[in-house]
Chain A
Amino acid sequence: MQTTLGSPTLSAIVSFLVIVALTLAVTWWAARKTRSTSDFYAANRSVSPLQNGLALAGDYMSAASFLGITGLVALRGYDGMIYATGWLVGWPALMFLVAEPLRNLGKYTFADVVAFRLRQVPVRIAAAFGGILTLLFYVLAQMVGAGNLITLMFGLSYEWAVIGVGVVMLAYVLFGGMLATTWVQIIKAILLLSGVTVLTALVLARYHFSPGELYAAVASRYGQAALEPGGLVTDPVDAVSLGLALMFGLLGLPHILMRFYTVPDARAARTSVLYATGFIGYFYLIIPVVGFGASALVGREIIRNVDAGGNMAAPLVAELLGGTPFLGFIAAVAFATILAVVAGLTLAGASALSHDIFTHAIRKGNASEEEQIRVARLATVAFGVLAVILGILFKGQNVAFMVGLAFAVAASANFPALLLSIVWRRFNTAGAVAAIATGSTLSVALIVLSPTVWVDLLHYAAPIFPLRNPAIISMPAGFLAGILASLVKPEPEAEARFHDEKLRTYLGVGAE
């Protein structure tokens, strides 16, 4: 099959320009409404549950999951579906364990909740460290992926692609703050969900709208094995460890947690999780159909020839079924997806730097609104420029494991500190610092010693740590460190304030 992938077509350029123009217009509108810190970090808590549900979905559904999972299903069949399920199951856990208390206790960042009744300076620094570490791994993977994808789809050079993403997303965050970022996520989520829906419908239309017929076509071309578990999940311990990181990592992702402050109250936070879970579940339910469609209609050989990792399976099947115009649209949607995710990460990184480190750790909470906004914008530029530099430095490196690492750090450092601070009266400053320090160091160290880095990247013969994802060890270790340190160094003031905290956690009295 002939493909126009890799050369900029008129339809790709037009779709791309329309999306950028639309999002910049939204940013211009949002910029006029962004004055206070509450506007900049939390969209003045004016976002509706449906809007926040879409924005959460937008923050979470990255280009890596859209293009990556379709590719995985296209090339490896059923194993790609197993991987897809893991990305959804964190959402119910987020609902049951942290969403409502987080909304009631915090103001702009998850560190607000952890530091609520503890000593501000050490806890703010520790939580900002855990948060920024998570965000840096995440943004690095996004930036390198963005550079590669844009090069593949538009033929643009890697460096210009990374710089382009950096400049446009900085415009969103810098001028429009959380309001613009939220609307960029909403636009992106709607485009992505409708793009994938149309693609799924086009695939199924070839098979009389019967998934069974599609599966039969895949089986007749690549054998029944394409519909059976392959080599992805063989070791149950390794599989459960990855599952733990995916599930509980979500509960420690700063850019996701931050979204709960954009809605008016805990009830709206709860409803927005239900919407988000619905949109994301629908997304992961239908993208395997696109993947199977790509392998049955385009063929694995062609997909692999365009990109060995299979990332171009979705664009290729889009071109086959909808022609060049639809390919242009899908490519532009993938680009919008990257922009939106990076914007969300940058806003979260900026808020950790400015709200947690500058306002609370350095200024002890005494900074004027104007000064806070100015520092927040400076921090936005700093984080954005860092993301671009990291993206360029890591050109050509295999950074796919970085997303797993981000989830492992989030699950092992941020999540234990957050959950313990909400539920355990005796949790204190020493415990919070110990949980975050242990969880983050251990997850980084173990992933370096694991087969993922030690064998695949550093080419040693045997790994020192046997599991590909460390969460099954590092997450319990984070909890254990938090509990032990709290028991060893008791803090009566923090315990005494737990009562006040409960009033706010469960009844929302005094919530922002």
Chain B
Amino acid sequence: MKPSVRRLLDSEEFRGLVARRWRLSIALSSLLFLLYYGYIILIATRPGLLSRRLGDGATTLGIVLAAAVIVGAWALTAAYVVWANRYYDPEAARLRARLQGD
């Protein structure tokens, strides 16, 4: 391995970038777990809650929650993409450029 590559891989910036990427991944995955498995466990343990009607209509809380799981899952994906486009990509490009500079 070239010494410049070694230096980069050991650098605080590279390690920090990788650590931040996985910290965010794990945080968003945990939210996804909470959202989906929370919903499933709620159905299994508290079906009465999901059967509750909203106002005078027939629409149940369960219908709203099912839609919220789908929209929420998409929103989590979008949050990751925004972070990666705004923060991760420029940072990775900067580190790559440093490698070519040597």
The chain A residues found within 8 Å of chain B, CB to CB, are: 78, 81-82, 84-86, 88-89, 91-93, 95-97, 100, 211-212, 215-216, 218-220, 224, 227-229, 233-236, 239-240, 243, 247, 267, 270-271, 273-274, 277-278, 281, 284-285, 288, 423, 499-500, 502-503, 506-509
Contacts and interface: CB of A to CB of B under 8 A. Distances in A.
Contacts of A277: 73-74, 77
A508 B99 CA distance: 12
**Interface residues of A: mostly helix, strand, loop or mixed?**
helix
A358 B99 CA distance: 36
A210 to B, nearest CB: 9
B58 A227 contact: yes
29 contacts: A88-B69, A88-B70, A88-B73, A89-B36, A92-B76, A93-B29, A96-B26, A212-B57, A212-B59, A215-B57, A215-B60, A215-B63, A220-B58, A227-B59, A229-B47, A229-B62, A234-B44, A236-B45, A239-B43, A243-B40, A267-B84, A277-B77, A281-B74, A288-B66, A506-B21, A507-B92, A507-B96, A508-B96, A509-B99
B69 A267 contact: no
Contacts of A239: 40-41, 43-44
Contacts of B81: 95, 270-271, 273-274
A35 B97 CA distance: 34
Interface in B48-91: 50-51, 53, 57-60, 62-63, 66-67, 69-71, 73-74, 76-78, 80-81, 84-85, 89
**Interface residues of B: mostly helix, strand, loop or mixed?**
helix
Contacts of A228: 47, 50-51, 60, 62
Nearest to B79: A92
Interface string B23-41: 0011011001001110111
Interface centre among A211, A271, A509 (most CB of B within 10 A): A509
A103 to B, nearest CB: 12
A506 B40 contact: no
A243 B66 contact: no
B70 to A, nearest CB: 5
Contacts of B29: 92-93, 96-97
B13 to A, nearest CB: 11
Given A224-B60, A240-B40, A273-B77, 16 more contacts: A81-B66, A88-B73, A89-B69, A92-B29, A96-B29, A100-B84, A215-B58, A227-B62, A236-B41, A270-B81, A270-B84, A273-B81, A285-B71, A506-B14, A506-B18, A506-B21
